[in-house]
Amino acid sequence: MGRYDTVLIRYGELSTKGKNRKDFIRKLYQNIQRILADFPNLAYRRTHDRIYIRLTDEDPDIIRERLQKVFGISSFSFTEKVPSDLEEIKKTCLAIAQESGKKTFKIITRRHDKTFPLNSDGINRAVAGEILRNTDLKVDVHEPELPIQIEVQQNDTYITSEKIPGAGGYPAGINGKVLLMLSGGIDSPVAAYELIKRGLEVEAVHFASPPYTSENARQKVMDLASMVSIYQGEMKVHIINFTDLQLEIYKTAGDPYAITLMRRMMFRIAQEVAQRNNCLAIGTGESIGQVASQTLESIACINSVVSIPVIRPLVCMDKVEIIDLAKKIGTYETSIQPFEDCCTIFDPKNPVTKPTIKRAEEYEARFDYESMIADCLENEIISTAGPETEAEEFL
Ligand code: ATP
Ligand code: MG
């Protein structure tokens, strides 16, 4: 490969210092190597504020697409690596300018190696002079068509004229683990993406009600988990058989409170699964007002059965915004496949929109839900969804 054979990765101005910064960089480094694991010939190197990847014959478009999925990267560039020598730097920048077809340029130098004979301003002037003398390009310091960036390190200098935005956020997994309630719908996979973006590791719990929900519905959930696992690596999925508990709720509470009770049971089980698996919080794809069970009154009534934090990344988003994100991360088409999930099967006609904790507790006093929850937990099935894994493996 000739030009642009080294990727320079920036992780921005971190507010975190000391050990946190070390953890951030170490995790980011691991996550980058994981997402590029199928390219064994890449050579990695890191300094205190940059990661470099040397390509051999890999397809840069695939590398670019993968790196854009790694949280914690603020931006990256495909660069040309030259020896840290002013004549080499000038020659390369001139070639970039000549080949660009652009009319205006600006040189932006960062000198990491303070022993280099010129300071960054001196390098800017020397390189700009070379381009002005040999081309028709003009300098525009405010809105250059061609911003050429030069990073001078001790032995090598990296030159680029593009800056690709990274995904931002924190490296997946540095901020602890959360248990996400993952349905087959549109919202919860998007919630997974948002949670991972904040540096959390997501483990999932899914409530299935066979035979009312089909094997296809379960497969769909595993497919969704696989899709979002590209952002963090393998994802553990706890599948809870919810049928008996759900039937009992409908028998006991009847129509209006069924959803409220069902969700209170889901949260109780989720809290237990979370605590057994070192997840410090529960995540959901709820959004205020979207359905009867997501009015503020419903959320309050349902949330009251758990004591660990519940994180709802989509809580203030509009459905259209959520759908746009689902399309962006590629889960939308799978989410809209028409397989019944447990909520749509037992869809009550008149769900209460302002449930009270008192009424919910009255219904719950009528049956021994605790032992039913214990049964659910005892019969959980644990699967692993991974980005590289074939869907068939989960059948
Ligand atoms: P989604 O599109 O995520 O299914 P929704 O708009 O259909 O959301 P609900 O079905 O009321 O809304 O679910 C709200 C949240 O509760 C979901 O985002 C998810 O976190 C959780 N949830 C719902 N059903 C299940 C299920 N069968 N298993 C696990 N979690 C669920
Ligand atoms: Mg749903």
Report the CATH superfamily, name and number, of domain 177-394: HUPs (3.40.50.620)
What are the structure tokens assigned to 248, written together?
A: 């009992």
Whether 395 has a pLDDT exceeding 50, the answer reads no
**Entry pTM:** 0.91
**Do 6-165 and 177-394 come out as alike in CATH topology?**
no
Top CATH class of 6-165 equals alpha beta
What are the structure tokens assigned to 108, written together?
A: 């932006």
Ligand nearest to the CA of 286: 1
Tens of pLDDT, residue by residue over 102-149, are: 999 999 999 988 999 999 999 999 999 999 999 999 999 999 999 999
Note the helical H segments in 230-242.
none
Atom of ligand 1 nearest to the CA of 293: 11
pLDDT value, residue 347:
72
| Number of Cβ atoms within 10 Å of the Cβ of 292 | 18
Tell me, in angstroms, the distance from the centre of ligand 1 to residue 198's CA: 21
What's the CA gap between 100 and 82, in Å, rounded? 19
Whether 15 has a pLDDT exceeding 70, the answer reads no
Tell me, in angstroms, the distance from the centre of ligand 1 to residue 376's CA: 18
What's the CA gap between 197 and 223, in Å, rounded? 20
Tell me, in angstroms, the distance from the centre of ligand 2 to residue 184's CA: 6
What confidence category does residue 291 fall into, taking pLDDT thresholds of 50, 70 and 90?
confident
- Kindly state if the Cβ of 295 falls inside 6 Å of ligand 1: no
What's the CA gap between 108 and 129, in Å, rounded? 14
Whether the ω angle into residue 211 lies within 30 degrees of 0, i.e. cis, is: yes
What confidence category does residue 157 fall into, taking pLDDT thresholds of 50, 70 and 90?
very high
Domain boundaries defined on the chain: 6-165, 177-394
Residues making up the chain, counted from first to last: 395
According to DSSP, residue 189 is labeled H
